[in-house]
Structure 1
Amino acid sequence: MLHGLPRKIRTAFLLQTLLASLAALLGGYLVLLVVKFGLVNTVLQEEAAHYWELHAASPAQPPPNTRHLRGYLLETGGSPLNLPPPLRALQPGFHDLREAGQLVLVDQSPAGRLYLVFLRSQAQWLAFWFGVVPVLLVLLAIYGASWLTYRASHRAVSPLVWLARRVSQWDPRYPDASELAPARLPADVQGEVRQLAAALHGMAGRIGDQVVRERNFTRDASHELRTPLTVIRMACEMAIDAGEEAGPVLQRSLLRIQRAGRDMEALIDALLILAREANIEPQSEWVDVGDVVRREAASAEVGLAGRPLELRLHINAPCLLRVPPQVLHVVVGNLLRNACNYTDAGHVEVEVEADRLVVRDTGIGMSPEALSRVFEPFFRAVPERREGHGLGMPIVHRLCERFGWKIELESEPERGTTATVRFA
């Protein structure tokens, strides 16, 4: 994901800011409670203690009466009717009279009860300055620090994001690393990111050169092989036409040479298709998979003479594909040859359905380890066998990928192998 790192950083800072804000708000709420029920209560208790000291020295001392504090004294044995109605039923202790807008401390002593009334509005004002204002300042500090830290982090990762975006736009077949050349890098790409860009630039250049060399070699080699193959095929056809009186052994040999030449020409055409760009469509035509299977089966049966191996064909449904014919011949031919080469006795079945081709044999099979490596170039499941060089299945796999087909292999040792090519 291109923007995964910036999104993660942004999310982390948002969560950090949110948690810090919740902590600050909770702290502010606790401060409000402390101011209302702690600070005011403590102040009123100190005022009550001070008043009783004055009252002990002079019983005529009146209760406190200031702008913010109003006091009432109910002497022992006195009538509570002289008190304001909200205070008459109060017991000793601290009380919050929301409807009256008052905070009241009732203090009991042998001389009577002292009622100290503090206005809730004044308590709220104190709570605002001692609770809300500090919380707001803390939140502003948190938001400012988070924003500055986020901007610094964003500037730190922006070169890496730029590099990731450029690399994601590369064509895997031809990675264009020209923007990663040292002279074209932005000024803010420094340090480890610059080293990484230089390494990617060099790697992409080597990959591009290697791809070009591979395609050029495949194209040139395939082109150069056509000339001797054409000569061999024409000479073989002339020998077959002129050798009507030749013995059956010579005739069979000439026919095998002719079929091998045609197979090689089909393989060269398939390699040329693989060497082309993926966006260049090869020349295609409608091909009946059943016809290709019959032709490749006829070629395979020539090599089965004298072997206890039966080749069975089941064309269950017509299957038409618009592809280069030689591609289908290479795919079917390789699958058939592999099945026949690795089956000493029993049978090889070929089934054609409307959307798939299945080649099933009763041969030696493969272990799970060999099955996982069967599409690797030059890998051979049984190295001691002389058949093949380990290139047939990799070529089949690449051709299937080129045309959007899916090849699946199932195999068990000593029980055979099943190859399925799904065309849809």
Structure 2
Amino acid sequence: MPHRKGLRRKIWTVFILQAAAISFAAVLGVYGASAVLKHVLIQTALQEEARHYWQRLHADPGADVPDTYNMTGYLVAAGGDNPRVPADIRGLPVGFHALPRAQGGSLVLVEEDRQGRRLYLLFKQEQVDSLAFWFGMAPLAIVLVVIYVIAWTTYRASKRAVSPVIWLASQVQRWDPKQPESAILKPENLPTDVEGETLVLAQSLHDFASRIESFVERERDFTRDASHELRTPLTVIRVAGDMMAADDKLSPMSRKALGRIQGAGRDMEALIEAFLILAREGDTGLPDDDFDVCDVVAEEVEKARMLLAGKPVQISCVRHGGFRLHAPARVLSVMVGNLLRNACHYTDEGRITVTVEPGQVSVADTGIGMDEAQLARVFEPFFRGGQHNKEGQGIGLSIVQRLSARYGWPVRLESRPGKGTTATISFPEYQSLD
């Protein structure tokens, strides 16, 4: 599981970096201690030894120069020479010196008294290295071993501590968003190491998943019942309206009212269809078909002609190359139908032209149009530009925009006050018929 590997890898990486940082700090510390040992402690010791020797020489002119296992001394009389002084240190000036490795790497202190006598004190490099190892490298090795053991033990303990969280993440990752399996997170099904905050989290996720299951079930029941129950009365209204329209004895006023009833019924049917599509989360429940866009558009244009009865408005469909889509045809019908109804409601005279060309469908009208302020709010629910006494609920374009976002079909509107509006639906993926 990616979550499991990710969390454990992060913990392991943190402990490795921590151990490496501590090890680096320890090495620097030992290196610094070695430098202090060489250049401070040994230098101080040689200076104290030289001071002690000058005191002894002042009291006893025949006092021997220091000569021990770790240190060798040489005394050169004023203006004289001592052939025993090694050639590497013979020319060194007064002061403390560290010879290069090629010259033995020893530490040398050169001092001269008031009478011009020069004292050479040489501390052997072998002893310096030995002291650096026993007082530096050996403790460093022990410290590093302790650090690694503690880091490994802490990692194992941390791994055991986060194991319940990893298990919980793996269970949640396998959930189907439409039907989460919350039963696995019941208290009796949890592993024994799930406790404390992890237990609280598991219980909260169980309650949350149970609520999601309830919501999903209610959504399915609603869409199933609504698709049946809402269409049934509309079908009755439509059939009854068609029967009444066939009556030649109907008065002009009654026929006008009947036309409004039939138009409202068609609007309500399209609105219910759009709501049922949008009510489903992710899946619309409609099958994906390979369909000719021109056929769907032509059908919606014929439906829109009924909305223009009595208006001096011409509606036409222009084809500049057809194309096919692989998607639910009903979704495109709802989008084009809403754009056409919007154009019919806001166009009192002139024409409405629906143009189909490869990759896009546009609906252009010569209606009242919109200014920039209205155009910026046109996709807001219940916003109605222009004349507010026009028919419609003010949610048609909002539905179009939501469906375009759902299917990845961008919608673009261009409009000028008094000149009309053009709505264009683009289809990034399509199959050309030409």
Q: Shorter-chain TM-score: which interval?
A: 0.7 to 0.9
1:295 and 2:296 equivalent?
no
Superposition map of 1:135-146 within 5 A:
135-146=140-151
Tell me the CA shift for residue 190 of structure 1: 2.4
Of residues 167, 175, 179, the one that matches 1:170 is: 175
Structure 1 counterpart SS, 2:121: strand
- Does the CA contact (< 8 Å) of 2:339 and 2:423 recur in 1? no
Structure 2 vs 1, CA of residues 105 and 347 (structure 1 numbering), >3 Å: closer, same or farther?
Answer: farther
Amino acid corresponding to residue 301 of structure 1 in structure 2? R
1:134 and 2:139 equivalent?
yes
Matching residue of 1:88: 90
Matching residue of 2:3: 2
Matching residue of 1:43: 45
- Does the CA contact (< 8 Å) of 1:367 and 1:412 recur in 2? no
Matching residue of 2:200: 195
Structure 2 vs 1, CA of residues 190 and 71 (structure 1 numbering), >3 Å: closer, same or farther?
Answer: same
- Does the CA contact (< 8 Å) of 2:273 and 2:334 recur in 1? no
Question: Which runs of no fewer than 5 residues in structure 2 stay unpaired?
Answer: 430-434
1:357 and 2:361 equivalent?
yes
The alignment-based identity, stated in percent, is 46
Amino acid corresponding to residue 144 of structure 2 in structure 1? L
- Does the CA contact (< 8 Å) of 2:362 and 2:422 recur in 1? no
Tell me the CA shift for residue 183 of structure 1: 2.1
1:211 and 2:216 equivalent?
yes
Structure 2 vs 1, CA of residues 160 and 345 (structure 1 numbering), >3 Å: closer, same or farther?
Answer: farther
Tell me the CA shift for residue 2 of structure 1: 3.4
Amino acid corresponding to residue 18 of structure 2 in structure 1? Q
- Residues in 1 aligned to 2:65 and 2:140: alpha-carbon distance in whole angstroms: 37
- Residues in 2 aligned to 1:22 and 1:409: alpha-carbon distance in whole angstroms: 61
- Does the CA contact (< 8 Å) of 2:313 and 2:350 recur in 1? yes
Report Cα offsets for 1:299-333 as digits up to 9, x if no partner.
22332345465545332211223555544332321
Structure 2 vs 1, CA of residues 344 and 109 (structure 1 numbering), >3 Å: closer, same or farther?
Answer: farther
Between stretches 140-149 and 26-35, larger displacement belongs to 140-149
Matching residue of 1:320: 324
Structure 2 vs 1, CA of residues 89 and 291 (structure 1 numbering), >3 Å: closer, same or farther?
Answer: same
Aligned length in residues: 417
Tell me the CA shift for residue 189 of structure 1: 2.5
Tell me the CA shift for residue 198 of structure 1: 1.8
Structure 2 vs 1, CA of residues 285 and 64 (structure 1 numbering), >3 Å: closer, same or farther?
Answer: closer
Matching residue of 2:36: 34
- Does the CA contact (< 8 Å) of 1:81 and 1:88 recur in 2? no
- Does the CA contact (< 8 Å) of 1:287 and 1:320 recur in 2? yes
Structure 1 counterpart SS, 2:308: coil
- Residues in 2 aligned to 1:30 and 1:284: alpha-carbon distance in whole angstroms: 74
Amino acid corresponding to residue 167 of structure 1 in structure 2? V
- Residues in 2 aligned to 1:385 and 1:169: alpha-carbon distance in whole angstroms: 53
Matching residue of 1:103: 107
Amino acid corresponding to residue 56 of structure 2 in structure 1? L
Superposition map of 1:310-389 within 5 A:
311=315, 313-323=317-327, 325-343=329-347, 348-361=352-365, 363-364=369-370, 367=374, 370-371=377-378, 374=380, 379-382=381-384, 387-389=391-393
Structure 2 counterpart SS, 1:94: strand
TM-score (norm 2): 0.78
- RMSD of aligned Cα (Å): 4.0
Matching residue of 1:22: 24
Structure 2 vs 1, CA of residues 387 and 167 (structure 1 numbering), >3 Å: closer, same or farther?
Answer: farther
Tell me the CA shift for residue 381 of structure 1: 0.9
- Residues in 2 aligned to 1:298 and 1:141: alpha-carbon distance in whole angstroms: 85
Structure 2 vs 1, CA of residues 281 and 231 (structure 1 numbering), >3 Å: closer, same or farther?
Answer: closer
Between stretches 211-220 and 143-152, larger displacement belongs to 143-152
- Residues in 2 aligned to 1:177 and 1:223: alpha-carbon distance in whole angstroms: 31
Matching residue of 2:185: 180
Structure 2 vs 1, CA of residues 15 and 339 (structure 1 numbering), >3 Å: closer, same or farther?
Answer: farther
Tell me the CA shift for residue 405 of structure 1: 4.3
Structure 2 counterpart SS, 1:56: helix
- Residues in 2 aligned to 1:421 and 1:95: alpha-carbon distance in whole angstroms: 84
Amino acid corresponding to residue 75 of structure 2 in structure 1? L
Structure 2 vs 1, CA of residues 248 and 390 (structure 1 numbering), >3 Å: closer, same or farther?
Answer: closer
Tell me the CA shift for residue 120 of structure 1: 0.5
Matching residue of 2:70: 68
Of residues 34, 59, 76, the one that matches 2:61 is: 59
- Does the CA contact (< 8 Å) of 2:219 and 2:280 recur in 1? no
Report Cα offsets for 1:166-195 as digits up to 9, x if no partner.
333322222222222222222333233322
- Does the CA contact (< 8 Å) of 1:367 and 1:413 recur in 2? no
- Does the CA contact (< 8 Å) of 1:218 and 1:271 recur in 2? no
TM-score (norm 1): 0.80
Matching residue of 1:79: 81
- Residues in 2 aligned to 1:131 and 1:368: alpha-carbon distance in whole angstroms: 78
- Does the CA contact (< 8 Å) of 2:321 and 2:356 recur in 1? yes
Structure 1 counterpart SS, 2:216: helix
Tell me the CA shift for residue 126 of structure 1: 0.6
Of residues 92, 115, 119, the one that matches 1:114 is: 119
- Residues in 1 aligned to 2:422 and 2:201: alpha-carbon distance in whole angstroms: 46
Tell me the CA shift for residue 117 of structure 1: 1.6
Amino acid corresponding to residue 318 of structure 1 in structure 2? G
- Does the CA contact (< 8 Å) of 1:301 and 1:311 recur in 2? yes
Between stretches 44-53 and 351-360, larger displacement belongs to 351-360
- Residues in 2 aligned to 1:60 and 1:330: alpha-carbon distance in whole angstroms: 119
Report Cα offsets for 1:246-282 as digits up to 9, x if no partner.
8899889888878887887777777777788978975
